Amino acid sequence: MLKPTPKPVPNRIPKPTRNTRIPWAAFLATALTALLAVLLPPPGQAHAAPDRGRGGESRPVYSYDRAVRESVWVEVRTGARRTDRVAVDIIRPREPAEQGRRVPVIMDASPYYSCCGRGNESQKKTYDAQGNPVQFPLYYDNYFVPRGYAVALVDLAGTNRSDGCVDVGGRSDVQSAKAVVDWLNGRARGYGSRTGTTPVKAGWSTGAVGMIGKSYDGTVANGVAATGVDGLRTIVPIGAISSWYDYYFAKGAALYDGGPDGLASRVESDGAHARCAAVQRKLVEGAPRNGDWTPLWSERDYVRDAGRVKASVFAVHGMQDLNVRTKHLGQWWDALAAHGVERKIWLSTTGHVDPFDFRREAWVPTLHRWFDHYLLGYDNGVEREPAADVERAPGQWSTDRSWPPAGTRTTTLRPAPGPVAGVGTLGLGQAGPGATARFTDDPRHSEADWSAAVDSATPDKAGFVTRPLTHDLRLSGSSTVRLRVTPSTSSAHLSAVLVDLGPASVRDYAGDGEGIRTLPDRTCWGGGTAGDTGCFKRTEADVKQVDRTVFSRGWADLGHYASARHGRAVTPGRAYTITLDLAATDHVVPAGHRLALIVAGTDAGLIEPAPTTPQLTVDLRATSADLPLVGGARAFARATSGAGAVPSPRPEHPRGLRIPALTHLP
Asked whether 587 and 575 are in contact (CB, 8 A), the reply is: no
Whether 606 contacts 446, CB under 8 Å: yes
Q: Closest by alpha carbon to 217, among 246, 244, 238, 248? A: 238
The active-site residue out of 84, 163, 321, 400 is 321
Task: Judge whether 215 counts as a catalytic residue.
Answer: yes
**What does the chain come to in residues?**
666
Cα distances (Å, whole numbers) of residue 328 to 87, 190, 214: 29, 34, 13
Cross-strand bridge partners of residue 577: 484
First to last CA, the chain: 20
Amino acid identity at 529: T
Q: Strand runs (DSSP E) across 558-639, as ranges?
A: 576-589, 594-600, 615-619, 624-630
Is 441 labeled as catalytic in the residue annotation? no
Q: What is the number of other CB atoms lying within 10 angstroms of the CB of residue 339?
A: 16
Task: Express the helix, strand and coil content of the chain in percent, nearest 5 each.
Answer: 25, 30, 45
Contacts of residue 170, Cβ cutoff 8 Å, sequence gap at least 6: 296, 299, 300
DSSP string, 501-568: EEEEEEE-TTSTTTTEEEEEEEEE-S---SS---EEEEEEE-EEEEEEEEEEEEEEEGGGSS-SS---
Pairing state between β 190-191 and 68-77: antiparallel
The C-alpha torsion from 630 through 636 and 637 to 642, rounded to 10°, is 90
Q: Which of 587, 481, 511, 475 minimizes the C-alpha distance to 322?
A: 511
> Which position among 176, 205, 215, 312 bears the catalytic label?
215
To the query of whether residue 305 is one of the catalytic residues in this protein, the response is no
Residues forming a β-bridge with 615: 440
- Which residue is catalytic, options 317, 328, 352, 445? 352
CA triple 120-122-125, angle to 5 deg: 135
Helix axes 360-376, 24-39, angle to 10 degrees: 120
Cis peptide before 10 (omega within 30 of 0): no
HEC string for 260-278: HHHHHHHHCCHHHHHHCHH
Please identify every residue annotated as catalytic. Answer: 215, 321, 352
